């Protein structure tokens, strides 16, 4: 499996497809500021809300916000630790699942407002690398079944906009040669981490930043373990 990134319009260092620690730290700060602003109503209820809800409910709200913040920060911190320091030798170790390479000069990277935010990363972790979402069974596997019928002898497959690499890895696990392209430097940085040096059972709260599309606090603060399943388990040995 090869993961190829459309080239960025600027060159930071020899691993410029990868975000720097400073860039990732900035994205985390923006994410946390946004969540804090939206959570203000939960953290600082009015007197009327206190009377209606009671302190136990308000306390559970605060605990949920705090736990989600700490867990999501810990995940991003683990990703940050995986990024080599600028001007230092590559130290991330071998790439056992996905080779990372760059494409030509004419391709640009997506801005951070489009699949370049921590909130978008969290949603894709839920979709692709957790057992709490059925997208793999409902969408990916039927598509792979059809692909196998069209190409019974295998072959080469291009997966554009591959995100965190789950679909590409599922296809590779069926014996196809796969190249997965993505133009988000954040997603390729995270995919390299998840596929090649996956953390062990990291907890994240992937929809903690969504304050208007949930039926309850429990739904908003859904807790998942990533990555599930282990990426290497999807490949033929």
- pLDDT tens across the length of the chain (237 residues): 555 543 323 333 345 678 999 999 999 999 999 999 998 877 888 899 889 988 898 898 899 999 999 999 999 999 999 998 765 655 556 677 888 877 665 555 555 556 789 999 999 999 999 999 999 999 999 999 999 999 999 899 999 999 999 999 999 999 999 999 888 989 999 999 999 999 988 999 999 999 888 888 889 999 999 999 999 999 865
Residue 17 CA to residue 11 CA, distance in Å, equals 8
Strands (E), 94-133: 99-102
Number of structural domains found in the chain: 1
Residue 90 burial by Cβ neighbours in a 10 Å radius (0-12, 13-18, 19+): exposed
Instruction: Check residue 8 and report its DSSP letter.
Output: P
Identify the sign of the CA torsion 30, 81, 19, 126.
negative
Nearest to 230 by CA among 205, 203, 195: 195
Answer yes or no: are the C-beta atoms of 18 and 119 closer than 8 Å. Answer: no
Residue 116 contacts residue 24 (beta carbons within 8 Å): no
pTM for this prediction: 0.87
Q: Which domain holds residue 177?
A: 2-233
């Amino acid at each position: 499996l090869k993961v190829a990134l459309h080239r960025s319009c600027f060159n930071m260092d020899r691993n410029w497809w990868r975000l720097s620690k400073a860039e990732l730290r900035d994205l985390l700060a923006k994410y946390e500021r946004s969540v804090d602003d939206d959570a203000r109503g939960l953290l600082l209820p009015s007197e009327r809300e206190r009377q209606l809800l009671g302190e136990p409910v308000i306390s559970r709200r605060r605990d949920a916000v705090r736990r989600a913040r700490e867990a999501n920060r810990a995940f991003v911190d683990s990703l940050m630790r995986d990024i080599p320091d600028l001007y230092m030798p590559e130290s991330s170790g071998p790439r056992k699942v996905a080779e990372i390479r760059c494409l030509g000069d004419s391709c640009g990277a997506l801005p951070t407002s489009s699949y370049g935010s921590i909130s978008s990363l969290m949603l894709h972790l839920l979709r692709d690398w957790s057992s709490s979402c059925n997208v793999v069974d409902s969408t990916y596997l039927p598509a792979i079944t059809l692909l196998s019928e069209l190409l019974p002898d295998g072959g080469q497959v291009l997966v554009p906009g591959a995100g965190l690499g789950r679909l590409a890895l599922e296809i590779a696990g069926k014996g196809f040669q796969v190249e997965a392209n993505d133009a988000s430097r954040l997603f390729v940085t995270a995919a390299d981490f998840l596929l090649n040096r996956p953390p062990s059972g990291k907890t994240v709260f992937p929809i903690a930043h969504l304050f208007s599309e949930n039926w309850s606090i429990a739904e908003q603060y859904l807790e998942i373990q990533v990555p599930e399943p282990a990426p290497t388990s999807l490949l033929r040995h």
